[in-house]
């Protein structure tokens, strides 16, 4: 019988295939009394030493293939092995209860997992995730069992797990992993980042999908809508097979279009660069360089997550420099640290807040922690010599905040110059427009920075008072709201008046439905997830600038969301109907020429 579940779509695309279940359930844990606790504890010590060697090797492998930035997540796991509390509890329970050490360890792991289910604090969950992953590795050594791995899948499959650890995701078989489903995790998890980076469809946060799925079950995964179908009926399977085939055909056409055009222009020759949003340097591949006109948003805070200590200035420099050098001469725009809100680092103590999205985050945090902020700025400036770098500051609420940030930036520049450390003196400084107050004073901000980048994800939620991850009101999170369009219009006007470019880097930029209106409003570039670039490029190449301006003028005068969406949808459908007619005529004309010959 078909079961339909709804989770969080974190990487778009449709995947259909057999389930490959993965997790601790595959280990059978014996329970028996031991005669000598000392010998049992010696077994535990030896297993810990073996796991430490495994983790060191995995760290070295990851550093070689994906860089120091990604390898550092294993430092936290190695530290767990030396956790005094863990060793003391194991020792005490083995001596008092007299059971074998793997039974005791598994019981502790189960208790931690149960606690983890009830805690929503991301920093606590990060720590618990490290403990569970390390505990699983020690169990494998104690049982002399080769732990199940995702490194080599026997066949193409959809991976189903309660939660994937960093060590699991670091070794995943990208060739045969058709899709990923997890009960836990969220859009900022390591699993989500990896899936988006390598265009693997993924749905997370399903809570109890594993309880319904058996190995080999046919699964349909819709990473765009966050839908999962278990053992689908014939009608559902046929519908999604058709959709998958259509998407594959469309992707082939878009890839052909990608290689046939040198620039990204409208029908009448107006150029609008399409940039990529990235989280990790590992995302900078040859494919990205072929698709994107640069990196419009590098979310640097992901370098601070999934670890137990701050990244050093040198680690940050290496990560930033690798991206800048790989993309050179294309531009790379680095956003400074945006921790807080929905992104927490376990090693940086942030007080619990009733409204974290409105609290101590982004530049507010950085200005209060100049030690962290200046180290990052030094790393960015040092990396600038390797290519075309821009830096932008998130969540600027007004001119006073922008001036304070620029003062810190200038201090760091002066310090580097005094110490004869090389950096580009012409590096551009940008202001992110993400809150209504920034829109209201955009004219002042524009005269004090080199470019604007509109972060629509936050701008929409703050303007409409809608938490974008709250399922109860998610339907109210509306990029097509007339108020949002008017704020975009006002921001672009201020940028144009000051003679600076204005780009957009939120999810709205990656939605083809809005391409025409964004171009018409005057956006100088659009930045989005790499997987969205081909579709937006095709959309861009089907519009004309004068018509786009008319569309923008009309929609900003509308009062209802449904009117805006209806009008944009009709425009979108009319363009594609015309494109289809032209393509059909072209094919018929080619066929006629062949017959004539």
Q: Give the residue from 392, 388, 391 showing the smallest Cα distance to 324.
A: 388
- Return the closest-CA partner of residue 437 out of 455, 456, 459: 459
CA 194 – CA 216 distance, rounded (Å): 24
Annotated catalytic residue 366: no
Torsion of CA 475, 476, 482, 486, to 10 degrees: -120
Angle at 71 between CA 204 and CA 179, to 5 degrees: 25
Q: Are 530 and 297 in contact (CB under 8 A)?
A: no
Looking at 346-407, which runs of residues are DSSP E strands? 388-393
Residue 4 in tokens: 């339909």
**CB-based contacts of 292, cutoff 8 Å, min separation 6:** 274, 275, 276, 330, 530, 533
Quote the CA–CA distance of 549 and 522 in Å, as a whole number.
Answer: 8
CB of 508 closer than 8 Å to CB of 456: yes
Query: 77, 431, 505, 572: which is the annotated catalytic residue?
Result: 505
Helix (H) and strand (E) counts in the chain: 22, 16
Q: Is 505 among the catalytic positions? A: yes
Closest CA to 575 of 534, 259, 504, 567: 567
Residue 16: partners with Cβ closer than 8 Å, 6 or more residues away: 178, 218, 219, 220, 221, 237, 240, 241, 244
Name the nearest CA neighbour of 423 among 384, 474, 369, 372: 384
Instruction: Please choose, from the candidates 399, 468, 464, 484, the residue with its C-alpha nearest in 3D space to the C-alpha of residue 438.
Output: 399
**Active-site residue, selected from the candidate residues 190, 386, 481, 572:** 190
- Which DSSP letter does residue 356 get? G
The whole-angstrom separation of Cα 396 and Cα 583 is 47
Rounded CA-CA distance 261/291 in Å is: 11
Quickly tell me which residue has 């990244």 as its tokens: 311
User: Peptide bond before 329: cis, by omega within 30 degrees of 0?
Assistant: yes
Query: How far from each other are the two terminal CA atoms of the chain, in whole angstroms?
Result: 57
Looking at residue 150, the DSSP 8-state letter turns out to be: S
Catalytic residues: 190, 505
């Amino acid at each position: 019988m078909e079961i339909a579940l709804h989770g969080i779509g974190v990487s778009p695309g449709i995947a259909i295939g057999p389930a490959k279940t993965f997790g601790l359930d595959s280990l059978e844990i014996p329970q028996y009394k031991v005669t000598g606790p000392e010998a049992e504890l010696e077994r535990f010590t030896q297993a810990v030493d073996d796991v430490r060697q495994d983790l060191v090797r995995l760290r070295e492998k990851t550093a070689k293939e994906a860089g120091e930035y990604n390898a550092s997540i294993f430092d936290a796991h190695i530290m767990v092995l030396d956790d005094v509390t863990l060793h003391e509890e194991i020792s005490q329970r083995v001596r008092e209860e007299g059971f074998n050490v793997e039974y005791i360890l598994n019981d502790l792991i189960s208790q931690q997992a149960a606690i983890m289910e009830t805690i929503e604090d991301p920093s606590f969950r990060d720590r618990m995730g490290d403990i569970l992953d390390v505990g699983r590795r020690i169990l494998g050594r104690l049982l002399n069992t080769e732990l199940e791995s995702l490194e080599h899948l026997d066949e193409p499959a959809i991976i189903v797990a309660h939660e994937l650890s960093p060590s699991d995701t670091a070794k995943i078989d990208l060739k045969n992993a058709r899709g990923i489903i997890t009960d836990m995790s969220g859009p900022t998890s390591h699993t989500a980042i990896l899936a988006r980076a390598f265009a693997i469809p993924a749905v997370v946060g399903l809570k109890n999908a594993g309880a319904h799925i058996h190995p080999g079950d046919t699964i349909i995964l819709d990473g765009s809508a966050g839908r999962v179908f278990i053992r689908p009926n014939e009608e559902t399977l046929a519908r999604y097979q058709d959709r998958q085939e259509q998407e594959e055909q469309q992707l082939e056409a878009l890839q052909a279009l990608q290689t046939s055009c040198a620039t990204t222009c409208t029908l009448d020759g107006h150029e609008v660069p399409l940039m990529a949003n990235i989280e990790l340097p590992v995302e900078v591949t040859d494919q990205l360089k072929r698709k994107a006109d640069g990196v419009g948003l590098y979310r640097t805070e992901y370098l601070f997550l999934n670890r137990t200590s701050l990244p050093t200035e040198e680690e940050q420099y290496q990560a930033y420099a690798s991206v800048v050098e790989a993309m050179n001469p294309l531009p790379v725009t680095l956003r400074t640290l945006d921790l807080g809100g929905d992104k927490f680092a376990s090693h940086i103590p942030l007080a619990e807040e009733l409204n974290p999205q409105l609290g101590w985050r982004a530049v507010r945090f950085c200005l209060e922690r100049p030690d962290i902020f200046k180290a990052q700025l030094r790393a960015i400036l040092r990396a600038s010599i390797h290519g075309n770098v821009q830096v932008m500051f998130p969540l600027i609420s007004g001119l006073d905040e922008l001036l304070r940030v620029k003062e810190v930036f200038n201090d760091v520049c002066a310090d580097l110059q005094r110490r004869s450390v090389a950096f580009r003196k012409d590096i551009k400084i940008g202001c992110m427009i993400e809150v209504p107050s920034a829109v209201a004073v955009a004219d002042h901000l524009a005269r004090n920075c080199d470019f604007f980048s509109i972060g629509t994800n936050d701008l929409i939620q703050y303007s409409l008072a809608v938490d974008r991850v709250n399922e109860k009101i998610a339907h109210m999170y509306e990029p097509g709201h007339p108020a949002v369009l008017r704020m975009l219009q006002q921001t672009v006007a201020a940028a144009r008046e000051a003679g600076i470019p204005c780009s957009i880097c939120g999810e709205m930029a990656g939605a083809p439905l809005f391409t025409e209106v964004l171009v018409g409003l005057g956006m100088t570039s659009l930045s989005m997830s790499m997987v969205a670039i081909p579709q937006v490029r095709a959309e861009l190449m089907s519009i004309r600038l004068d018509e786009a301006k008319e569309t923008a003028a009309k929609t900003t005068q509308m009062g209802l969301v449904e009117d805006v969406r209806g009008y944009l949808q009709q425009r979108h459908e009319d363009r594609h109907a015309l494109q289809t007619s032209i393509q059909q005529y072209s094919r018929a004309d080619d066929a006629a020429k062949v017959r004539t010959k």
